[in-house]
Chains A and B, each alone.
Chain A
């Protein structure tokens, strides 16, 4: 395995310490019949080589929109990248097009999706699809391609790879398909792998297998991963750093340990507190009141203020900037910023909404 990877490793060593991906002030909107939806709003983050960055958030928070923006896989219209830059090894992906974008998509950045049932084409064998992916991006011919394909299937832990390669996707279970998808994504030695809810459709025991596989591959191949999920526990297990998104904005980011042990944003605190824990028994679960806002009618100011137990006057009017704590632990919340007494007046008379 290592021989194939060698070139990649030296490249990475040359580029040591520099960021692999830098997203700066990304703005992306969907233009729908109902109006403009700001799916990604002023999002900035970095991914270092070999690092696993988790993006966590609920449906419609923009986590998938971020990943699709990076790969420029958004259908336009209705989607439009309206600002910011996505620097991948210094190249701005927002400004790339055509052949050069295609090269980056398969060669350097690969993606795996949530639905292993629909992301494989049912009329081609696993081998055909894998071989096609390899041919597109690598100068291999004939027998070598097939061997490489078998090697990839073995790498992702598919038993009897040399026989299985000629089977059609419907013969595969969900977990096997996700393995095949990962094999396909990794077949071109990407530097960055974007995994969008890769285990959400899978059962717990299969999820454990896939997470184990991804951790193992990350160590062996040193691929950077952007791991998108709504499941906090999966993030806790997988990620080195975590971005918490709410309503298109990053509300908190930091190392996984800081974030889970010392969450700063009320939303992060609520998310962590509302999950029943396997270790601590609680009589009653904490909860975040209200529901995720309708993207067409985003509340002004900080989008979380209608649900926030600490909401203040200022929260309704203005989105706070980011405050940086130790260890690149950033949070966007007025609680951590200077404000006048008047601005700090609580929005609700009693904080009863959250405590009930």
Chain B
């Protein structure tokens, strides 16, 4: 017979705010990276940081405030899935651009600029 695992509440020394603040710091770092860097692969890495920040936020809120639904955890799983798809596709595009233009710097790829 399988014993059903029960959800249990645990008191921790860390509050929800601390996770949210950590997540917002990480997100801001990612924003800085996306805006300041000019190499396409580095921009992608900064986007990964931002996605992770959002995941932390979602999971923290799910665990602390919505224990029976935990939609945030499901969301985090989907974020990771879509991030994997996004990285594969975006790196394919970066590779193709590099082969055609000889650079992976986004400010040198300006053929659509008028």
Q: Does B associate with A?
A: no
